[in-house]
Amino acid sequence: MNIEVCFSPQSYPLFHNPGSIVVVIDILRATSAITTAFFNGVAKMIPVSTIEEAQKYKDQGYLVAAERNAEIVKGFDLGNSPFGYMNAKVKGKTIVITTTNGTQAIHAAKGTYKIVIGSFLNLDTVIEYLRKEKKDVLFLCSGWKNKFNLEDTLYAGAVAEQLIYKYNFNSICDSTIAAMELYKLAKHDLFGFLANSSHRNRLEKLDLERDIKYCLTPNQCPVLPVLEGKFLIKGA
Amino acid sequence: MNIEVCFSPQSYPLFHNPGSIVVVIDILRATSAITTAFFNGVAKMIPVSTIEEAQKYKDQGYLVAAERNAEIVKGFDLGNSPFGYMNAKVKGKTIVITTTNGTQAIHAAKGTYKIVIGSFLNLDTVIEYLRKEKKDVLFLCSGWKNKFNLEDTLYAGAVAEQLIYKYNFNSICDSTIAAMELYKLAKHDLFGFLANSSHRNRLEKLDLERDIKYCLTPNQCPVLPVLEGKFLIKGA
């Protein structure tokens, strides 16, 4: 059971392994929002890459979330703030979602054995699932417009550390070592460690500190969103 | 004066800035070998991407270095072991070189303000040059077949730390933060820190521990190879 960490959706083809479980990570905020949505009773989600696809679904009457550059796209119902999904109106619904980075990453990984959604909010649920499945694991960090980011890397390190030290997974991948070393440095104060990170600064300008703190707090939403065909559904 | 770190030649287009100095890094071993070559009196080097181009130069009578997967390509004069360049026969010569990763990175960055060759062997020379030039700096890690590697990242962190803390450069780039944090962890024992790294293991199988220790020892070759047209020349 081998672990690799891919820092950008652009690099995914270098890592593709049809037998892997791909854990898609976009801590700030797409995968945190998706995890929160399922915990709050959303039935299904449809991740799409473009605003145009999202608009087509909206025209058909779907509830649609669309975020670009950390803000809700004008005319859509939701963005990628997790707090938008803590709402009775989402319960039982199918929600279409497109975001700057996270939904692109989900599409990049299509064709692998299984795609699941990872965030600190469902940290232990993801670890438990991977432990039981006993497959190769690829952590796919969404990054920011195909560049490396810290928060997705820290999460990959958090899960990898558990799988390697407790459950006999292994890795010969330098990006796994880097992710685990960075997580070791950061784990006692994730929020502080990210103080100078580019995306935290981007969100702070938008007054989203509450979102950031929420997204960095583990195990608030013990659900596992998984991709089945074009739908994300609640898998555990 | 802004600093960015790019972890893979594949990602270079995301970082391209025509006003930047690009520091190309392939610690194990292309940029270490190039630095060593100039310190030992090589006049010029011509980095080429493919074995075919290298062969054409060989047919014209050039001294040609060709490495793939850490070994000298059959029929060529040199590989990328720095020790191959500590030799009177290279003095005053023009050497053509193609390697698995490093020469690809040099070609990826063409079109920027200046391309220079960085290694631990010329660490302080690179820092001094960048300090005086006062330009934006992009550290371009060669990686391994477009994947992230640790040793190139550590070097980027080593130089970035000096530029930021001593010389008023700045960075809003998460990969710079990661590189500096990793370098802080590793700097008192680079060889030990890389014990589990993928490329160190790749080279150890080939009995290249002496090469690795040499490549990780700073400031043995105070020269600065720079690209001018198709030639690398000694720039400082």
Cβ contact, residue pair B147, A201, below 8 Å: no
Q: Which of A145, A147, A174 sits opposite B148 (nearest CB)?
A: A174
pLDDT over 90 percentage in chain A: 86
The predicted pLDDT at position B116 comes to 98
Is residue B21 left, alpha or beta, with left meaning phi > 0 and alpha meaning psi from -120 to 50?
beta
Output the 3-class SS for chain A.
Answer: CEEEEECCHHHHHHHCCCCCEEEEECCCCHHHHHHHHHHCCCCEEEECCCHHHHHHHHHCCCEEEEEECCEECCCCCECCCHHHHCCHHHCCCEEEEECCCHHHHHHHCCCCCEEEEECHHHHHHHHHHHHHHCCCEEEEECCECCECCHHHHHHHHHHHHHHHHHHCCECCCHHHHHHHHHHHHHCCCHHHHHHHCHHHHHHHCCCCHHHHHHHCCCCCCCCCEEEECCEEEECC
pLDDT value at B201 more than 80: no
Summarised one tens digit per residue, pLDDT across range A5-25 is 999 999 999 999 999 999 999
CB contact under 8 A, B196 and A178: no
Each residue of B164-195: pLDDT tens digit? 999 999 998 999 999 999 999 999 999 999 98
A-chain residue closest to B148, CA distance: A175
Q: Show the CA angle centred on residue B7, arms to residues A12 and B221, nearest 5°.
A: 150
pLDDT class of A201 with cuts at 50, 70, 90: confident
Per-residue pLDDT tens for A83-142?
Answer: 999 988 899 999 999 998 889 899 999 999 999 999 999 999 999 999 999 999 999 999
**Cβ–Cβ gap B7/A148 under 8 Å:** yes
Report the pLDDT value the prediction gives residue A70, as an integer from 0 to 100: 84
Report pLDDT digits (tens) over B112-156. Answer: 999 999 999 999 999 999 999 999 999 999 999 999 999 999 999
B137 burial via Cβ count (<10 Å: 0-12, 13-18, 19+): buried
Decide if B145 and A181 are in contact by the 8 Å CB cutoff: no
Q: What percent of chain B has pLDDT over 70?
A: 100
Is residue A117 within 8 A of residue A217, CB to CB? The reply is no
Confidence (pLDDT) at B236: 66
pLDDT at A236: 65
Q: Which residues of A11-26 are buried (b: 16+ CB within 10 A; e: fewer)?
A: bbeebeeeebbbbbbb
Question: What pLDDT does A203 receive?
Answer: 73
Q: How far is B150 from chain A, CA to nearest CA, in Å?
A: 6
Q: Do A197 and B174 touch (CB under 8 A)?
A: yes
Question: Which residues of A are less than 8 Å from B138 in CB distance?
Answer: none
**Strand A225-228 relative to strand A94-98, pairing:** unpaired
If 0-12 CB within 10 Å is exposed, 13-18 middle and 19+ buried, where does residue A130 land? buried
What residue has token string 């392994």?
A: A17
Q: CB of B161 within 8 A of CB of B128?
A: no
**Binary contact (B178, A153; C-beta < 8 A):** yes
Closest CA to B131 of B171, B173, B162, B177: B162
To test the contact with chain A by mutation, choose from B149, B177, B199, B203 the residue with the greatest count of A C-beta atoms within 10 A, namely: B177
Task: Return the pLDDT at B57.
Answer: 97
- CA-CA distance, A175 to A195, in Å (whole number)? 22
Say yes or no to pLDDT of B198 above 80: no
CB B220 within 8 A of CB B121: yes
CB contact at 8 A, A217 and A155: no
To test the contact with chain A by mutation, choose from B16, B144, B174 the residue with the greatest count of A C-beta atoms within 10 A, namely B174
Contacts of A177 in chain B (CB under 8 A): 150, 196-197
Best CA proximity match to B176, nearest among B147, B198, B156, B205: B156
- At A59, is the pLDDT very low, low, confident or very high (cuts 50, 70, 90)? very high
Q: What chain B residue is nearest to A196 in terms of C-alpha separation?
A: B172
Report the DSSP pairing between strands A225-228 and A231-234: antiparallel
Q: Average pLDDT for residues A155-166, to the nearest whole number?
A: 97
Tally of CB atoms within 10 A around B233 = 16
Q: What is the mean pLDDT of chain B?
A: 94
Task: Collect all residues from A whose CB is shorter than 8 A from any CB in B.
Answer: 7-8, 10-11, 14-15, 144-150, 153, 172-175, 177-178, 181-182, 185, 196-199, 201
pLDDT score at B197 = 77
Q: Looking at CA atoms only, how far is residue A48 from chain B in angstroms? A: 23
Phi/psi at B42 (5° precision): -60, 140
Please report how many Cα atoms fall inside a 13 Å half-sphere around the Cα of residue B154, on the Cβ side.
28
Contact A58, A172 (CB under 8 A): no
The pLDDT mean for chain A works out to 94
